[in-house]
């Protein structure tokens, strides 16, 4: 059996929030940034459609161990639904398949309609989504003219607010659970209104703990690299712990940390009674500088981020994913 070659690139660790431009896939944006950093290992934390712009957290090195938690985090979008026109993709990149007259409506009517889509709802994924069936993304099958049956699945719309409207366009602020398809939401709302609809604009403004105010564009990154090289780029990185910055945290003594690193659950005074936690070793001399995987934001300046764990029924903290 052939041995895997050594991974090429620099050992970069940390997290970067990119403002993805329109017309670029999430993977293309990832590869552009990975090349800028000459990073050995990198991954994104949830695809945005080419039409969409906005918050795309990228993980490098040790931070990739925590990308799944950003995949599972809530998202927030600012979007425009164009009423009266339906497309085969559910967005403006698709072909028009139906045009209908838009009936008269007012804000009170819209609020009644929106009320049907708040909370836990069922969605059928679009044939042009990235969801895989038998290892194949649906959008690839759709481009070949193949349509397969898709099971509906439950998602949660935590907030659905009208922030502006013209006769044929609704501007909405949406906060939702992972796996929500905004294009499917547009199509379903359009059907309830009796005229059809599609997404004409889509911007992700939040992903988990990250907001658009902290995102950097590809153009800004290029300028930063031109001015300061790899050192300037590396200074832009957030610690791996920022992926779970909104979780409660616990601090371990050196002895506790030693047992935890060996895979053993430990009893920590005043720990939360349940759920997942960030884990730190207090007063460590091995704490790393800002921008690296081990940096600590809360508490003592020398505390070292060890990873994440889960509170067991007996109150002990069990390690679940640790940094090297």
Which residues have a catalytic role annotated? 49
Tell me the longest C-alpha to C-alpha distance in the chain: 70
The alpha carbon of 113 is separated from its chain's Cα centroid by a whole number of angstroms, namely: 28
SS (H, E, C) the chain: CCCCCCCCCECCCEEEEEEECCCCCHHHHHHHHHHHHCECCEEECCCCCCCCEEEEEEEEHHHHHHHHHHHCCCEEEEEEEEECEEECCCECCCCEEEECCCCCCCHHHHHHHHHCCCEEEEECCCCCCCCEECCEEHHHHHHCCCCCCCCCEEEEEEEEEEEEECCCEEEEEEEECCCCCHHHHHHHHHHHHCCCEEEEEEEEEEECCEEHHHCECHHHHHHHHHHHHHHHHHCCCECHHHHHCCCCEEEECHHHHHHHHCCCCECCCCCCCCCEEEEEECCCCCCCCCCCCCCCCCCCCCCEEEEEEEECCCCCEEEEEECC
Pairing of strands 53-60, 197-207: parallel
Q: Following CA atoms 141, 146, 148, 154 in sequence, which dihedral angle do they give, to the nearest 10 degrees?
A: 50
State the burial class of residue 247 (Cβ atoms within 10 Å of its Cβ: 0-12, 13-18, 19+): middle
Find where tokens 């969801």 sit. Answer: 131
* Cβ-based neighbours of 144, under 8 Å, separated by 6 or more: none
């Amino acid at each position: 059996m052939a041995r895997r070659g050594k991974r090429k690139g620099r050992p970069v660790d940390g997290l970067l929030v990119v403002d993805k431009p329109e017309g670029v896939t999430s993977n293309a944006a990832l590869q552009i940034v990975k090349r800028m950093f000459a990073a050995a290992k990198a991954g994104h934390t949830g695809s945005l459609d080419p039409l969409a712009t906005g918050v795309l957290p990228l993980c490098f090195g040790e931070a990739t161990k925590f990308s799944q938690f950003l995949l599972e985090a809530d998202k927030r979008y600012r979007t425009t639904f164009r009423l009266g026109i339906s497309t085969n993709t559910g967005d403006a990149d698709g072909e028009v398949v139906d045009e209908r007259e838009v009936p008269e409506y007012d804000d009170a009517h819209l609020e009644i309609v929106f009320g049907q889509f708040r909370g836990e709802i069922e969605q059928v994924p679009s044939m042009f989504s990235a969801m895989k069936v038998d290892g194949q993304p649906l959008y690839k099958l759709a481009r070949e003219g193949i349509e397969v049956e898709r099971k509906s699945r439950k998602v949660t719309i935590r907030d659905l607010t009208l922030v502006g409207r013209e006769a044929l366009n609704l501007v909405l602020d949406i906060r939702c659970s992972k796996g929500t398809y905004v294009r499917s939401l547009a199509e379903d709302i359009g059907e309830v209104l009796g005229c059809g609809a599609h997404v004409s604009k889509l911007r992700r403004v939040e992903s988990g703990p990250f907001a658009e105010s902290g995102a950097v564009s590809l153009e800004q990154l290029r300028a930063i690299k031109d001015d300061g090289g790899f050192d300037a780029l590396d200074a832009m990185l957030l610690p791996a712990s920022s992926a779970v910055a909104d979780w409660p945290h616990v601090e371990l003594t050196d002895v506790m940390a030693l047992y935890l690193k060996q895979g053993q659950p430990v009893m920590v005074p005043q720990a939360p009674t349940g759920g997942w936690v960030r884990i730190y070793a207090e007063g460590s001399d091995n704490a790393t500088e800002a921008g690296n995987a081990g940096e600590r934001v809360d508490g003592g300046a020398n505390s070292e981020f060890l990873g994440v764990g889960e509170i067991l029924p007996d109150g002990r903290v069990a390690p679940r994913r640790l940094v090297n």
